[in-house]
Structure 1
Amino acid sequence: MTSPAPPVAAPPPAERSLSLAMCIALVMGNMIGSGVFLLPAALAPYGWNAVAGWALTIAGAIALAYTLARLTVARPDANGPAGFVDIAFGKVPSFLIGWSYWVSIWTANVTLAVAAVSYLSAFAPEIGRTPYVPALLAVALVWAVTLVNLGGARSAGMFQLATTLLKLVPLAVVLAIMAVLIATRGGEALAPFPAEGLKAGAVTASAALTLWALLGFESASVVAAKVENPQRNIPRATLIGTLLTGIIYLVICSGVALMLPAETVAGSDAPFQVFVAHYWAAGPALTIALFAAISAIGTLNGWVLLQGEMPLAMARRGLLPAWFGKTRANGTPTRALIVSSVLASLFVLVNSSRSMSDLFSYMALLSTSATLWLYLACAAAALKLRVAVPVAALGAAYAVWTLYGAGLGVSGLSLLLMAAGLPLYWWARRSAAPQQPAE
């Protein structure tokens, strides 16, 4: 019998370069991406039921975010969400959850790159009409953002802070228009509340759709090794970022869906542009497309940062080969970043025959389902470790409910992808074992 391989040494304090403001920007930037600009169209048919769906999703996200925040304070040695699972349940469950989350990250990056190219095609319509050009541009965008992250967490954090501020501009414009409409028209500016009341099925369906937009509240916990004063800053960034993003989504997405005819919003590929054009002018509406692209690119930057940090953290816990744990002098996990971007690029090219909208929808649903397993496992870890038990129980129940709502087919596929990583785990443990003295 041999002892397990030791993890790669933890990073020195000099690598902790993400401030509280950068962590909040990372959380909000990773949550406010392409979803906010597309969701009103998907939610329009549900009307006021979608408002209730948002409320349930926000409550569930805050419960899970609070659970992660309390786990970070209680077990700072875990160095991220998968580390909580390791402490509670052991190496194999931790690897499965970490692997599934890594898959969810680079599949989300495919989605975001495709969305950004789609928004930019408003300025060059021939992009969407030329075969393979959208896929090649999406790949180029993935690598451009990867180069930013190869410069280190500090440069990625500054880029994230700048793009987060820029992506708030179109949200502020829409919010200002809504405020004027409410002030001048009152309740008449909104679609009437249905006489028959809310329907449970419609609320459940709309809540499942909204979850994609709120993925990412765990971002600060994932990069815990890079955060200044993590026990203080990670909980604050997680809760502040989640609450602010939830309020923004609830007000703006619901407002766009309820202040325009449902058939107009539902039939649009760019509901924000339709809203601004309807209540303002076509010129400012076109500008929204540019800010939507900036939003997607900023979110892509945050997730590319995570796609390098996740394999790095797993390697440092001995769950992946030590090769993934090698970093540059500034702490950048170059190898993990490059491998992740290669996988994302290959996936774009293999699926280049799909339409942009089909690829976006498919990858968004798959990424959501894969991420839910992490949320459920962290809630279960909190219950076992007796951390924030009542809230963790609510978070676990919400995760199970949403996995069911995502559909058995997609949730089953995410389980298969999770199991597909086991051979790599066994190979990593086996290859490290001979280096250890026998007991």
Structure 2
Amino acid sequence: MQDQKKMTVTQLTLIVAVNMMGSGIIMLPANMAQIGAISLLSWLITALGSMAIAYGFAQAGVFDRKAGGMPAYAEEAHGRSGSFVLSYLYYISLAIANVAIATSALGYLAPFFPWLNSTPVMTMFGVVGLIWITTLANFGGPKITGRIGAITVWGVIIPVAGLSVIGWFWFSGETFSQAWNPKGLSIMEGLGSSITLTLWAFLGMESAAQSAGAVENPRKNVPLACMLGTAGAAVVYILSTTVIMGIVPNADLANSTGPFGLVYAQMFSPMIGNIIMALAALACVGSLLGWQFTISQTGKLAADDGMFPKFLGKVNSMGAPVIGMILIGIVQTVFAFSTVSPSLSEQFNVLVDLSVVTNVIPYIIALTGLMVMMKKEDVSPNIYLRNSVVVIIAVSYSIFALYASGAKSVVGGVLIMMTGYLIYGFMSPRFELAKLNTKTMKE
């Protein structure tokens, strides 16, 4: 009877795919068009690397005795400091990602409100406005936020997945060939210049392992669902970005602030294009609304665990950690100001690169904890070897993604991480006192 209440592998696979496909894809065709269709090759590398990362997290979720997610995986191999730095970096990476999502939403709103894209300053104020509107909307608690996000996400998924199927009727081989390599890049240059863009669309795959307790036969089904869900999202990503580059001329696509609205307008009519633009904008705002709550909850959970300052864990009568929401809203505003660029596309690229760096470092820290977890579980040599190979592939890909992010983004990520170590210096005495008290009580 209990198993009937748990998710099947099919249900979990769909959840994994939907969670990943949110707003991550919505601006990518325009940004990839600036490199050329040669950038599509990076999807293949990213799909392989992302499936390795997803599988590694799925295995960690199965062996994790604390059910504490990535911070718990990190603590296994790197101690309390590794767990803290991971939590801090992941927290900041979500803040940066939220600014990128707000930028995506603004790109789809701009055709309806042209002044939003009139100058870099107006764009910046538009992004900040969306950040604070969605922050304040979360003061009412999680119930409404969850319902809105569950509906609006389909405003992205349906047009993107639909284009993957029906778009081929409008596909032109000539248009695609003209878009292939307008800058004359080598294969490695094409891969390196777009790897962070494609990885951006897969960020969030680590959340799949958190459902292990609600799934039938988790040791088998969680890794399977992670792999199938990631592979399914990869297919939709590859097909949709390929077909759009064979419909819309490369120059038009590269200059678009709403690529999916543009392609539907060309396939059907401007009115249909506007409908898609409105749906995509709504989906991005809904996604931003949900992520604003997620990031505040991430801070609250870390505060409850003693990792972050206690004030981040305080909630109002509706269960919303308002102080934490205001603080992370200020952080996002700082990132919006500091990444102001001549165009929405350029600002999006800057944010994506920095978000990938601050997200991938936690991936590396967490995945390397799997070795300790497997030893504690005394797994068979075959399982240890298989998972070790997967971790090597996942971490190697993550390191390549860091390299491809560019020196500026890597330096920015390292500076953010070093600030985290400074914060940990002030937080660590409480951890040492807690250990000392525990040891005294045992004696």
Q: Alignment partner of 2:205: what SS?
A: coil
Match status 1:260 vs 2:248: yes
Distance 2:9 2:125 in 1: 36
Q: Is the 8 A contact 1:100 1:371 kept in 2?
A: yes
1:159-189 residue CA offsets vs partner (Å, 9 max, x unmatched): 221112222232244335414236xx8x678
Residues of 2 paired with 1:33 and 1:311: CA distance?
Answer: 22
Deviating more after overlay: 100-109 vs 350-359: 350-359
Instruction: Tell me, yes or no, if the aligned pair for 1:30 and 1:299 is still in contact at 8 Å.
Output: no
SS at match of 1:36: coil
Q: Which is further off, 153-162 or 230-239?
A: 230-239
Whole-angstrom CA distance in 1 between matches of 2:228 and 2:136: 29
- Deviation, structure 1 residue 406: 1.0
Q: Confirm or deny: 8 A CA contact 2:257 2:345 kept in the other structure.
A: no
Q: In the TM superposition, what whole-angstrom CA distance separates every residue of 1:98-137 from its partner, at most 9, and x where no partner exists? A: 1111111111111211321232121121233378554444
Q: Does 1:430 align with 2:416?
A: no
8 Å Cα contact 1:148/1:155 also seen in 2: no
Structure 1 residue 420 displacement after superposition: 0.3
Report deviation, 1:371: 0.5
Q: Which amino acid aligns with 2:75?
A: D
Range that drifts further, 317-326 or 114-123: 317-326
* Aligned equivalents of 2:37, 2:277: Cα separation in 1: 27
Match of 1:419 in 2: 418
Indicate yes or no: 2:177 matched with 1:191: yes
| One of 87, 91, 102 as aligned partner of 2:80 | 91
Please give the root-mean-square deviation of Cα atoms over the aligned residues, in Å.
Answer: 3.7
CA change 1:411–1:353 in 2 (3 A) is closer
AA aligned opposite 2:93: S
Q: Deviations over 1:185-210 (max 9, x none)?
A: 8x678538989998233233333331
Would the alpha carbon gap of residues 40 and 68 (structure 1) be closer, same or farther in structure 2, given more than 3 Å must change? same
2:329 counterpart of 1:341:
yes
Q: Give the whole-Å Cα distance in 2 for the aligned partners of 1:27 and 1:91.
A: 29
Query: 1:207–1:423: structure 2 CA closer, same or farther, 3 Å change rule?
Result: closer
The yes-or-no answer on 1:282 pairing with 2:281 is no
Q: Distance in 2 between matches of 1:197 and 1:268?
A: 22
Does residue 82 of the first structure (1) align with residue 80 of the second (2)? no
What's the CA shift for 1:416? Answer: 1.2
- Residue range with higher mean Cα deviation, 388-397 or 354-363: 354-363
- Which residue in the other structure is 1:393 paired with? 392
Structure-2 residue corresponding to 1:117 = 106
Report the equivalent of 1:13.
Answer: none
Among the aligned pairs, what percent are the same residue?
A: 26
Q: Is the 8 A contact 2:174 2:246 kept in 1?
A: no
1:377 deviates by 1.4
* Corresponding residue of 1:65: 54
What TM-score does the superposition give when structure 2 sets the normalisation length?
Answer: 0.80
Residue 304 of structure 1 is matched in structure 2 by: 292
| AA at the equivalent of 2:205 | F
Does the Cα contact within 8 Å between 1:26 and 1:160 map onto a contact in 2?
no
Q: 1:409 Cα shift?
A: 2.6
Q: TM-score, normalised by structure 1?
A: 0.81
Partner of 2:201: 213
Q: Quick one: distance in 2 between partners of 1:260 and 1:401?
A: 31
SS at match of 1:245: helix
Q: In 2, Cα distance between the equivalents of 1:76 and 1:294?
A: 39
Contact 2:155–2:282 (8 Å) recurs in 1? yes
Distance in 2 of aligned mates of 1:291 and 1:224: 29
Q: Distance in 2 between matches of 1:389 and 1:84?
A: 15
Provide the C-alpha distance between the structure 2 equivalents of 1:339 and 1:389, rounded to a whole number of angstroms.
39
CA contact (8 A) 2:94 2:355 kept: yes
Q: Secondary structure at the match of 1:37?
A: coil
Q: CA deviation at 1:293?
A: 1.0
Q: Distance in 2 between the 1:262 and 1:285 partners?
A: 18
Say if 1:210 and 1:75 are closer, same or farther in 2 by CA, change over 3 A: same
Mean CA deviation greater in 19-28 or 238-247: 19-28
Aligned residues: 418
Which deviates more, 344-353 or 249-258? 344-353
> Which SS does the other structure have where 1:302 is aligned?
helix
Contact residue 312 and residue 324 of structure 1 kept, 8 A: yes
| Matches of 1:76 and 1:331, distance apart in 2 | 28
Give the counterpart of 2:364 among 376, 380, 387.
Answer: 376
> Does the 8 Å CA contact 2:20/2:205 hold for their aligned counterparts?
yes
**1:230 Cα deviation after fit:** 10
Residue from 16, 25, 41 that aligns with 2:30: 41
Tell me whether 1:56 sits opposite 2:55 in the alignment: no
The 8 Å contact of residues 69 and 235 in structure 1, kept in 2 or not, is answered as yes
Is the deviation greater in 62-71 or in 406-415?
406-415
Give yes or no for the alignment of 1:318 onto 2:317: no
Shift of the alpha carbon at 1:425? 2.2
- CA drift of 1:328 comes to 5.6
The structural deviation recorded for 1:218 is 1.9
Alpha-carbon deviation of 1:60?
Answer: 0.7
Q: Deviations over 1:17-76 (max 9, x none)?
A: x99999878755653355423222332365553332101101111110111111111104
State the alpha-carbon separation in 2 of the partners of residues 402 and 108 from structure 1.
Answer: 16
Deviating beyond 6 angstroms after TM superposition, the runs of 4 or more aligned structure 1 residues are: 18-26, 192-198, 432-436
Q: Structure 1 residues 193 and 365, CA, compared in 2 at 3 Å: closer, same or farther?
A: closer
The one-letter amino acid of 1:394's match is I
Give the counterpart of 1:31 among 17, 20, 33. 20
Counterpart code for 1:369: V
Which residue does 1:14 correspond to in 2?
A: none
Q: Look up the match of 1:244.
A: 232
Runs of 5+ unmatched residues, structure 1: 1-17
The equivalent position to 1:292 in structure 2, one of 280, 283, 286, is 280
Aligned equivalents of 2:69 and 2:356: distance in 1?
Answer: 19
Moved more, 239-248 or 23-32: 23-32
Q: Structure 2: 5+ residue runs without aligned partners? A: 1-6, 375-383
Q: Give the partner amino acid of 1:218.
A: E
